[in-house]
A and B are shown apart, each in its own frame.
Chain A
């Protein structure tokens, strides 16, 4: 039972980060009808820009970065990420949407994704980098682990989950309560109508692309010290976030967040839990949830997936 708690906590923490990426995917889909294939790598760009400003490209330990410099690095990283997200929309999506060219935005966003990936790898070629941790969780309990009964879990994971929830709440607030947020809702429900009543559509959509990247990057950076990061970290976040978003048909933010959490839980369960003789292990934790999502999409496709035949 205690072991289960441990799995749940770590799965939720990872899953909530996927969930925030899924929120970004859903937002972008509902605004533009596109899939932002570069979202994961844009988030990766945020992670590694932060690392670059905080500690350069050399080896780091978790403690070697001062809090002040880390905060500066975080600000730069998130800003770069927002700029890349918005720029991605303006250069790789919007021109093709206007022409109605699906191939165009697919090619454009994929090109952006692989260019960012390659740029990260050229600065950070090794397969794993330690990410500095500005908050000294390792001093709590035994090297950052606390025991609850027989179970022990990393205190960090609770912090990561908490930050993700706060970010989600902030995003929901921004979408429902601010003027820009209401503008975005107007665009999602009726783009032409929003244009007519004077909503600055292009600017707001670019902002939404930027925020999708920025919010995802904040969550990913919060989680980054828990495990070594590489150029693939962001890419995989993008893929898993897309899977979660597809699971809830690019639905509203809380649903997307919940889907991400469920996805993370499933991954943790596959990696750790054994049911009788059936013991899967971490090597299956990536493939099986994705296979399930695709299976579900094939068996019970959402209505909006189908072509409009009238």
Chain B
């Protein structure tokens, strides 16, 4: 086996990465590089009255905050436990250094320990609603504080655990070295944040945070993704703690109490949780506050520790009261420019193979109410089936039974002749059975393209956090393919010109089309639509009808719950009429329109 092909491939990948970097390089990147260079020079140009160890501590704090920012802003988990993870890293590293482990290795093991702690806490909270995440992580923070109190041997008792500073990579562990190390790590963390936030991993995480139900409908496995984000954030906090403790020279249990968790959350909040730079700016703001607290203390003769929390509280409340989502997003909004990516719509969306979905004898009761009684459906490729009926007749319930978000009491659903009974909603999306939700369930803070990417990222094999972070050639190739498929899905519903618009700024009917696009991006073979025309005007109805007809012509099987009979008449090959949970009639539009029972029960005043 020759190593040459591998080298060639690697070389090509590096060249490609360089080209991508050149393409993405702009004034913002120059600005960031200049800021970083200036910050790196700071220890050598600042007057000696500036305390370098304070600067280094601030930089380590920023590192922990960037980790938290990812869990909060991208992962959607408002954690109040990051300070405890910093503490876990510090305690672990402190003990290891005491037993002669090299400093960097000790810090890494500290990070690993904190990451394991993150897995433990995360395993509990990743399925929780935000308010329970807050409660659980808040209690976890206190549990850590109580544990340190209960086990004084962990922190060396009353005198504290002294950590003898060792050489880091053969260099004296001065404050300057720690500062430069921390700054480098912050830069790496920021780049990682940006890479992950833009990857399909990040897009799916953000989608799950904004509309959990809609994300599940597109096959997003939110708990798994969140666990990775939460544990990763904890590990970054642990790394910051494991290094900062070497600068401190002592493990001080009071340094990792609830106030540290609060400070980190404040930094993320005032800087802006959903941006990479936000937490760093937030930490700088907090550091500026503590300087202000020192000044106040000198003026009044009181202890400065008293003013810090009060000023922080004031700052948080005033930033929050303005209604902004933090400093960085507010600034970014002013200088945002239009995207300038090239679009590629030539992607094949449809899966070539035909599919059938057969449901029979479906029953569903909610207590006394029989919502669905003995419903049978047969969906085939290249056909549009309309499910109609008055409000409360069980149409949406039928969709949920088919999509797997609701188990039937009786009856079977078969996909290509294989029973789906045991398949979860996510499994079914993967097989090619996807549905849209009734309300406007787009992900409001994602752009149209990112909305489609949530669906397009299904079945990614190299889409995990680690691969996205390392930008392996496979992951990059796959990411390009995923983006192309998302663009094709947007084009399929005519939204290609709106790709960079944030979903909540789209019109109501565009949002409904976007839902269809996200579903299409999963490359379904069977598409279940819940009232795609709700509130649409005449022109919009025509557009929708054209889209449905084209999808059907391309081989998709479409089942649409629909109220608008004009649309139904235009596009449906087959109509199923539900009334009080039972099937009143089914057949071609002509057959159904001629059915006397249908006329009597439902269509009395309106003819097809």
- Give the shortest distance, in Å, between B133 (CB) and chain A (any CB): 9
Judging by beta carbons under 8 Å apart, are A293 and B139 in contact? Answer: yes
B259 CB within 8 Å of chain A:
yes
- Binary flags per residue of A289-302, CB closer than 8 Å to B gives 1, else 0: 01101100110010
Judging by beta carbons under 8 Å apart, are A102 and B78 in contact? Answer: yes
- Binary flags per residue of A98-123, CB closer than 8 Å to B gives 1, else 0: 01011110111011101101110110
Judging by beta carbons under 8 Å apart, are A307 and B129 in contact? Answer: yes
Judging by beta carbons under 8 Å apart, are B78 and A106 in contact? Answer: yes
A118-B307, A307-B127, A307-B129 given; 16 more Cβ-contact pairs under 8 Å: A35-B135, A106-B80, A108-B317, A111-B262, A111-B266, A114-B309, A119-B310, A122-B303, A286-B149, A290-B146, A301-B124, A301-B127, A305-B129, A308-B212, A309-B216, A309-B405
Judging by beta carbons under 8 Å apart, are B139 and A242 in contact? Answer: yes
Judging by beta carbons under 8 Å apart, are A294 and B312 in contact? Answer: no
Known: A103-B78, A114-B309, A305-B129. A125 touches B303 (CB 8 A): yes
Judging by beta carbons under 8 Å apart, are A287 and B150 in contact? Answer: yes
Using Cβ atoms and an 8 Å threshold, which residues of chain A touch B491? none
Using Cβ atoms and an 8 Å threshold, which residues of chain B touch A258? none
Judging by beta carbons under 8 Å apart, are B135 and A242 in contact? Answer: yes
Q: Which of A102, A110, A125 contacts B262 (CB 8 A)?
A: A110
B132 CB within 8 Å of chain A:
yes
Q: Which of A34, A287, A310 contacts B131 (CB 8 A)?
A: A34
Query: Which residue of B is nearest A284, CB measured?
Result: B150
How far is A106 from B323 in the complex, measured between Cα atoms in Å? 15
Using Cβ atoms and an 8 Å threshold, which residues of chain B touch A286? 146, 149-150
Using Cβ atoms and an 8 Å threshold, which residues of chain A touch B139? 239, 242-243, 246, 290, 293-294
Give residues 272-290 of A contacting B (CB, 8 Å): 283-284, 286-287, 290
A145 CB within 8 Å of chain B:
no
B431 CB within 8 Å of chain A:
no
Interface size on A, residues (CB 8 A): 51
B123 CB within 8 Å of chain A:
yes
Segment from A60-68, A89-97, A175-183, A194-202 that makes contact with B: A89-97
Between A and B, 27 residue pairs with Cβ closer than 8 Å are A37-B134, A92-B317, A102-B78, A102-B134, A103-B269, A103-B273, A110-B262, A111-B314, A114-B259, A114-B313, A115-B314, A118-B305, A118-B308, A118-B309, A122-B302, A239-B138, A242-B135, A242-B138, A283-B149, A287-B143, A287-B146, A293-B139, A294-B143, A301-B128, A304-B129, A305-B127, A307-B128
- Give the shortest distance, in Å, between A261 (CB) and chain B (any CB): 19
- Binary flags per residue of B111-149, CB closer than 8 Å to A gives 1, else 0: 000000000000110011111101110111011001101
How far is A123 from B136 in the complex, measured between Cα atoms in Å? 32
Judging by beta carbons under 8 Å apart, are B212 and A309 in contact? Answer: yes
Judging by beta carbons under 8 Å apart, are A297 and B136 in contact? Answer: yes
Judging by beta carbons under 8 Å apart, are A95 and B321 in contact? Answer: yes
- Give the shortest distance, in Å, between B231 (CB) and chain A (any CB): 15
A162 CB within 8 Å of chain B:
no
How far is A304 from B266 in the complex, measured between Cα atoms in Å? 28
Interface centre among B129, B305, B320, B321 (most CB of A within 10 A): B320
B265 CB within 8 Å of chain A:
yes
How far is A35 from B72 in the complex, measured between Cα atoms in Å? 17
Interface size class of B (residues with CB under 8 A): 35 or more
Query: Which residue of B is nearest A33, CB measured?
Result: B131
- Binary flags per residue of B222-235, CB closer than 8 Å to A gives 1, else 0: 10000000000000
Query: Which residue of B is nearest A91, CB measured?
Result: B317
Judging by beta carbons under 8 Å apart, are A107 and B124 in contact? Answer: no
Q: Which of B216, B265, B306, B321 contacts A122 (CB 8 A)?
A: B306
Using Cβ atoms and an 8 Å threshold, which residues of chain B touch A114? 259, 262, 309, 312-313
Query: Which residue of B is nearest A250, CB measured?
Result: B135
Using Cβ atoms and an 8 Å threshold, which residues of chain A touch B131? 29, 33-35, 102
Q: Which of B127, B128, B132, B310 contacts A115 (CB 8 A)?
A: B310
How far is A286 from B147 in the complex, measured between Cα atoms in Å? 8
Using Cβ atoms and an 8 Å threshold, which residues of chain A touch B308? 118
Judging by beta carbons under 8 Å apart, are B312 and A306 in contact? Answer: no
How far is A246 from B132 in the complex, measured between Cα atoms in Å? 9
B38 CB within 8 Å of chain A:
no
Query: Which residue of B is nearest A295, CB measured?
Result: B124
How far is A283 from B151 in the complex, measured between Cα atoms in Å? 8
Judging by beta carbons under 8 Å apart, are B317 and A298 in contact? Answer: no
How far is A104 from B78 in the complex, measured between Cα atoms in Å? 10
Using Cβ atoms and an 8 Å threshold, which residues of chain A touch B213? 308-310
